[in-house]
Chain A
Amino acid sequence: MAVSTIIPWERVRTVGSRLTTPLHPDDYLSLVNPLWSARELRGRVEEVIPETDDAATLVIRPGWGWRYNHSPGQYVGIGVQVEGRFQWRSYSISSPPKRNGRTIAITVRAMPEGLLSSHLVKGLAPGTIVRLASPEGDFVLPDPPPAKILFLVAGSGITPVMAMLRTLDRRGSMPDVVMHYSSPNAERMIFREELDGLSEKHEGLTLHKLHTDTDGMLDFADLDDFCPDWREREVWACGPSGMLDAATEHWKDADLEDQLHLERFSLEVGGEAEGGTVTFQTSGKKAEADGATTILEAGESVGIGMPYGCRMGICHTCTLTLVKGAIKDLRNGEEYNQPNEQVQTCVTAAMGDCTFDI
């Protein structure tokens, strides 16, 4: 930190760019060390730690431009080149934020149909250079933490909560925490040993494990049994959408929605467009889409193999050509209406009738 205040790096880079124009100095420096570039956030995979048969933790050393100031619970975009093409997904950071840190960790479970997750868990060699996107998300633990917390997690939903627990542990500020963790069986329970260790170490942490293969899914009616004071707790829930939907309903019925924090990996829609008929020129299919339906969803609804990656506007995998018509970016209301413009379909919706080249 001290060095960066003594040497004004931004100014050095600006001066350097007069010599390297139209490229950036980083374009040359990254030839020496791939991490010496702030043009695109990148990182080097330092270690791949198997957690269970189908899950692994990737320890990544970020390059220039990375600030180790993520909030516990946030996720990060990771782009990996597979068959020459960058594929992007988002994963929760499982390591606690550390200002003087040198690495971050994400934990990934290989999904049977997930091309990238399998690649990350089984095929990623230490030393691989990956692209990163800045941490995002408001599924975070406030600082200072509330006095009473309930964590409801299932499967790989553990990862953001793990970052929160590790932060509470490291800061020595573990409040009264009840955690309910569902997993098909003991073997597939990620971080089970570390969690056991934490609950032994901290009196305030109570851990309830549920093995759904033998004991069935969590029924929210049972909540009163293992956590009778759930109405007094701030809740963070992360897991499959079925569980999150049930949680939403349960807390809504109790009129305590404000206490429930959910993590869903999906787009947060700000604005709304007018909607219209979306025509897919090559396949000749048409979809009626309202103003909150993205072009990507509209295409999928009529059975088109739309390209997609992060589904939240980070990775540009979903970019298609807007042949004619107008669309709106749901994140910021920006309009695109040029013929044959390249647009991201996962964050845009139709403004009247429009045509795409797919």
Chain B
Amino acid sequence: MAIADVKEYTHLTDEEVEQIGRELDALRKEIEESRGASDAEYINRLIKIQRGLAFAGRVTLLLSNKKPAWALGASMLGIAKILENMEIGHNVMHGQWDWMNDPEIHSSNWEWDTAQPAEQWKHSHNYIHHQFTNVLGFDNDIGYGILRMAREQKWHPANLGQPVYNALLATLFQWGVALHDLDIEAIRKREKDPKVMRKQLRQIWRKVRRQVGKDYVFFPALTGPAFAHTAAANALANLTRNLWSYAIIFCGHFPDGALHFTEEEIEDETRAEWYLRQILGAANFTGGPLLHIMSGNLGFQIEHHLFPDLPSNRYAEIGERVRPLCEKYGIPYTTGPLHRQYGQALRTILKLSLPNRFTSSDRRDGPHSPEVPRGRRSDDERPVRRTETGGWTSQATA
């Protein structure tokens, strides 16, 4: 089931939708104009804390043959990796801090501590996912080409293995993300431009070699006889980060309240309708400030999707404005505790491993829509990029 027209679904008039758009534009402007020294201090301090933690973790692991040092070092390193990937890397690459005009904290050259090259992330995430959020056949993040996450996605006997694929994806999350922009299916069907593929593979190989070298060769080698202990601690830190980021990301668009859309929705979609789709297609989760920092403020997924390039430390404040706006116009605003949001995502994974006739839908989107073909759209088949979704310097197709 999916929505073909957000206006119809929300029972709003053209004028009301445009009014919502204007209010959100005004909110964006207000936040943009109030960015200042305290925001800059926030990100600079966070980066300092993260690098300090990473350094302390690595140093502690020089004693990785002692159990307490091993556990402490692995934890510090795991937390450092989570902070780097989520609250720092993901958000910097969105351009949230570009306004500071600081080339060291800038979307154009940030490289993050994970296997995927930043260049490919900015294409697959900032552009494809953020512009075509939850549009069936357009947003490759609906199941990442691995899981069947919408009833409109055609069932295949291979989907029976979903519970296993899901566990593997969670465990090996950074490697799944690393291959995400490649489009394995197009490669398999020999539809992928070999030049682009070679370039992407080269980028991935370079990045992976350095990442693996650091965690599994050089740092372990520094500890000499404790080589295996250090490598294991580093693997644990990477695993922690994988499981955590997987869980957080699955809470963003897979809880029942986050709706899907059909291709008709993005035909002649106005800016205000795009806003509306972002609200309907995303799900928040609740928690304290520490949880929000550790999850890159993605508990404010709705706010992040409305304003992907506004600084993450302001999402809480933006949420306090967005939620009343949604209530005023009767727009559903999906949120709930982390365990419930993830529980719903897991239920969908399990249910959709079976053909539709064996299960009932838990979602409240519109009427049933026809199945969407498998496979991805190429960039040429997509509408022009929105400015919020940022840039990437060397085009994936070039």
Q: Which A residues are closer than 8 A to B by beta carbons? A: 18-23, 27-28, 31, 39-40, 79, 81, 83-88, 309, 315-317, 319, 321, 323-324, 338-342, 357
Determine the distance from Cα of A81 to Cα of B97 in the docked complex, in whole angstroms. Answer: 13
Chain B residues within an 8 Å CB radius of A340? 384-387, 389-391
Given known contacts A40-B104, A85-B99, A321 and B387 CB-to-CB distance under 8 angstroms: yes
Q: Which of A18, A316, A319 contacts B214 (CB 8 A)?
A: A18
Which residues from 14 to 51 on chain B have a C-beta closer than 8 Å to any C-beta of chain A? Answer: 35-41, 48, 51
- Asked whether, in the complex, the Cβ of B395 is within 8 Å of the Cβ of A338, the reply is yes
A selection of 25 A-B contacts at a CB cut-off of 8 Å is A19-B214, A19-B218, A19-B222, A20-B214, A21-B211, A21-B213, A22-B210, A22-B211, A23-B111, A81-B102, A83-B37, A84-B35, A84-B36, A85-B35, A85-B99, A85-B100, A86-B102, A317-B101, A319-B98, A324-B384, A338-B395, A339-B385, A340-B384, A340-B391, A342-B391
- Asked whether, in the complex, the Cβ of A86 is within 8 Å of the Cβ of B100, the reply is yes
Chain A residues within an 8 Å CB radius of B385? 339-340
Min CB gap A248→B, angstroms: 34
Determine the distance from Cα of A22 to Cα of B212 in the docked complex, in whole angstroms. Answer: 11
Q: Which of B52, B103, B391, B395 contacts A321 (CB 8 A)?
A: B391
- Asked whether, in the complex, the Cβ of B210 is within 8 Å of the Cβ of A18, the reply is yes
- Asked whether, in the complex, the Cβ of A323 is within 8 Å of the Cβ of B102, the reply is no
Query: Smallest CB-CB separation from A42: which chain B residue?
Result: B104
Chain B interface residue count, Cβ-Cβ cutoff 8 angstroms: 39
Q: B112 within 8 Å of A by Cβ?
A: yes
Max chain A Cβ within 10 angstroms of own Cβ: one of B41, B102, B113, B384: B102
- Asked whether, in the complex, the Cβ of A84 is within 8 Å of the Cβ of B218, the reply is no
Given known contacts A18-B210, A40-B104, A338-B395, A83 and B36 CB-to-CB distance under 8 angstroms: yes
- Asked whether, in the complex, the Cβ of B101 is within 8 Å of the Cβ of A85, the reply is yes
Given known contacts A83-B36, A321-B387, A339-B384, A31 and B52 CB-to-CB distance under 8 angstroms: yes
Determine the distance from Cα of A15 to Cα of B179 in the docked complex, in whole angstroms. Answer: 28
Determine the distance from Cα of A351 to Cα of B108 in the docked complex, in whole angstroms. Answer: 24
Query: Smallest CB-CB separation from A20: which chain B residue?
Result: B214
Which residues from 360 to 398 on chain B have a C-beta closer than 8 Å to any C-beta of chain A? Answer: 384-387, 389-391, 395
- Asked whether, in the complex, the Cβ of A18 is within 8 Å of the Cβ of B108, the reply is no
Min CB gap A190→B, angstroms: 29
- Asked whether, in the complex, the Cβ of A40 is within 8 Å of the Cβ of B103, the reply is yes
Q: B55 within 8 Å of A by Cβ?
A: yes
Q: B205 within 8 Å of A by Cβ?
A: no
- Asked whether, in the complex, the Cβ of B101 is within 8 Å of the Cβ of A316, the reply is yes
Known pairs A23-B111, A28-B55, A84-B40; list 12 more (Cβ under 8 Å): A22-B211, A23-B113, A28-B51, A40-B103, A84-B35, A87-B101, A88-B101, A309-B101, A323-B384, A338-B391, A340-B385, A357-B387
Query: Smallest CB-CB separation from A15: which chain B residue?
Result: B218
Max chain B Cβ within 10 angstroms of own Cβ: one of A79, A321, A340: A340
Chain A residues within an 8 Å CB radius of B387? 321, 323, 340, 357
Chain A residues within an 8 Å CB radius of B219? 19
Chain A residues within an 8 Å CB radius of B391? 321, 338, 340-342
Chain A residues within an 8 Å CB radius of B52? 31
- Asked whether, in the complex, the Cβ of B112 is within 8 Å of the Cβ of A22, the reply is yes
Chain A residues within an 8 Å CB radius of B40? 81, 84-85
Chain A residues within an 8 Å CB radius of B48? 31
Min CB gap A348→B, angstroms: 15
Determine the distance from Cα of A177 to Cα of B112 in the docked complex, in whole angstroms. Answer: 57
Chain B residues within an 8 Å CB radius of A86? 100-102
Min CB gap B282→A, angstroms: 22
Min CB gap B388→A, angstroms: 10
Determine the distance from Cα of A79 to Cα of B51 in the docked complex, in whole angstroms. Answer: 24
Determine the distance from Cα of A223 to Cα of B231 in the docked complex, in whole angstroms. Answer: 78
Min CB gap A67→B, angstroms: 20
Chain A residues within an 8 Å CB radius of B207? 22
- Asked whether, in the complex, the Cβ of A315 is within 8 Å of the Cβ of B37, the reply is no
Min CB gap A130→B, angstroms: 12
Q: Which of A22, A81, A324, A341 contacts B113 (CB 8 A)?
A: A22
Min CB gap B189→A, angstroms: 27
Chain A residues within an 8 Å CB radius of B390? 340, 342
Chain B residues within an 8 Å CB radius of A18? 210, 213-214, 218
Given known contacts A339-B384, A339-B385, A316 and B36 CB-to-CB distance under 8 angstroms: no
Given known contacts A18-B214, A19-B214, A340-B386, A315 and B51 CB-to-CB distance under 8 angstroms: no
Chain B residues within an 8 Å CB radius of A323? 384, 387
- Asked whether, in the complex, the Cβ of A22 is within 8 Å of the Cβ of B111, the reply is yes
Min CB gap B81→A, angstroms: 12
- Asked whether, in the complex, the Cβ of B395 is within 8 Å of the Cβ of A31, the reply is no
Closest 4 CB pairs of A and B: A84-B40, A22-B111, A86-B101, A21-B210
Determine the distance from Cα of A21 to Cα of B209 in the docked complex, in whole angstroms. Answer: 10
